[in-house]
Amino acid sequence: MWLLIFAVVAVMWFFHRSHTKLKVATRPPRLVGDGTYAVEIVGKNNYLASFEKICGRRTADCINRKTEAHLTFEDDNVFDNQAVRVSITGYTVGYLPLAVARDFRRAVIGVGLGRSTVFECSAHIRGGWDAGLRRQGNYGVWLDLPESGAM
């Protein structure tokens, strides 16, 4: 009797598993620049809490860390419906400058990536030092993006 129940459950499990689509996490399109990290993001000072979560507490040493960033179209941004938000490890750290955001959007549409709204690229975080006596360095983030003509 137990063997029959086991066989029925096994067949039901196999049938269910074979007809269930597996959810596969897809990564956003990866953009590769020339290694110059030429695009500095803006609005960084509005996201100091994000930098502390990403980099830890400020120290006397300057942060100098390469990491990955996600660029996300923000069509519903109240200040600019063409904004491109920059986040690192899930935390917003700033935005592409206005002109760069518009060029970026045109370029990704031009190369056939217009359906994507999130992209990935290399980023370089620098700054964020603390020398005491209220002397602190600002954080900076530079992105390694391809030139619009090279996308």
pLDDT in tens, 18-55: 444 444 558 899 999 999 999 999 999 999 999 999 98
What would the mean pLDDT of 6-21 be, rounded to a whole number?
A: 43
Name the most confidently modeled range: 2-6, 96-100, 128-132.
96-100
| Tokens, residue 41 | 């993001």
Confidence of residue 59 (pLDDT cuts 50, 70, 90): confident
What pLDDT is recorded for position 148? 60
